[in-house]
């Protein structure tokens, strides 16, 4: 399992909802958590590792608000968005070394199934809300660069391709 880089076609596909959560899905989520932590990243969606299932892993530390959180979400959906928005710089493990300012709702209400197969519904704000919106977008085949102008988006994707080519050439 490895992180796919843009413009890989699986990053643009919709992930499938899980009818039931099997042991295999929990294993996948735990592997994703390891990959994300090594990267290092704060969130990872299953289609970023080539698996079209609605699985997201989160592990972040918000030093400003003194909050740490690590958890797995199956079939996550955002059921409410705040009217207030905030602009923050975002990056993505599928677009290494590329960053851009993205405007998103400040607060959300998210609903998902946890690794104990319990339905969780909770209000989330700030940095954590941003991470969840970013990762849940991935499950719909949407990348953070889709919030940018097509010119900016194309520039960032070309930079990723260039980085991939440099890496391939260095491995030869």
Which residues are tagged catalytic?
A: 135
Q: Judge if the upstream peptide bond of residue 7 is cis by omega within 30 degrees of 0.
A: yes
Partners of 111 in beta bridges = 77, 121
DSSP H or E segment with residue 139: helix 126-139
Residues 6+ away with beta carbon under 8 Å from 159: 97, 98
Q: CA torsion sign, 111 to 53 to 28 to 34?
A: negative
**Exposure string for 134-167, b = 16+ CB within 10 A, e = fewer:** bbbbbbebbbbbebbeeeebeebbeebeeeeeee
Partners of 70 in beta bridges = 59
């Amino acid at each position: 399992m490895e992180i796919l880089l843009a413009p890989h076609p699986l990053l643009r596909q919709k992930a499938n909802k899980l009818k039931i959560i099997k042991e295999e899905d929990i294993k996948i989520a735990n592997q994703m958590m390891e990959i994300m932590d090594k990267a290092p990243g704060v969130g990872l969606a299953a289609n970023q590792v080539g698996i079209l299932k609605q699985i997201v892993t989160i592990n972040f530390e918000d030093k400003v608000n003194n909050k740490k959180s690590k958890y797995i979400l199956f079939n996550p959906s955002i059921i409410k968005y705040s009217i207030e928005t905030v602009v923050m710089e975002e990056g993505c493990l599928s677009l290494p070394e590329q960053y851009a300012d993205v405007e998103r709702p400040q607060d959300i209400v998210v609903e998902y199934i946890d690794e104990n197969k319990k339905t969780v519904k909770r209000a989330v704000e700030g940095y954590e809300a941003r991470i969840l919106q970013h990762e849940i977008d991935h499950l719909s085949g949407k990348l953070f660069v889709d919030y940018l102008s097509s010119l900016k988006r194309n520039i960032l994707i070309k930079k990723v391709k260039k980085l991939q080519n440099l890496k391939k050439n260095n491995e030869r």
